[in-house]
Amino acid sequence: MGWAELSELDFRNGHAEVGIVVDEEERGQGYAHDGLAGLLNYCFQDLRLHRVGARVLSINTPSLSLFESLGFKVEGVCRESYFAGGHHLDVTTLGLLAHEFQCPEPKS
């Protein structure tokens, strides 16, 4: 079905990075939204983090929309910082602060 990950956990500064991948045949059913919302709830409620960041390929508009729908703000673009398919691609960096997060109702 896919996976969600929490990485670069830094308790001193209250920060972590998140990522999520949903298998192509499972997309469009709300699994990414619910999985990411659950992971964010864990980050802010259980781990008491202050900030969660994410990095998304700028051409991946569905993922950018997902993160923004959960309250993430675009913080910048790392130009041509990812190489795939013979091309250098931009990566959008996003961030969400604990006081900005509103745990949504499940979609799936």
| Residue 72: pLDDT over 90 | yes
Instruction: Give the DSSP letter string of 45-75.
Output: IIS--SEEEEEEETT-HHHHHHHHHTT-EEE
Strand partners, 76: 93
pTM score of the predicted model:
0.89
93 contacts 64 by C-beta, under 8 angstroms:
no
Domains identified in the chain and CATH numbers: 2-100 (3.40.630.30)
**pLDDT band at residue 107 under the 50/70/90 scheme:** low
The number of angstroms, rounded, from the C-alpha of 5 to the middle of its chain's C-alpha atoms is: 9
Which of 92, 86, 87, 108 shows the shortest CA–CA distance to 37?
Answer: 108
Q: Which residue has the tokens 């969600």?
A: 4
Q: pLDDT digits over 8-26, tens only?
A: 999 999 999 999 988 887 7
Exposure string over 12-29, b if 16+ CB within 10 A, otherwise e: eebbbbbebebeeeeeee
What is the spatial distance between Cα 27 and Cα 30, in angstroms, rounded to a whole number?
7
Q: pLDDT digits over 28-67, tens only?
A: 778 899 999 999 999 999 999 999 999 999 999 999 999 9
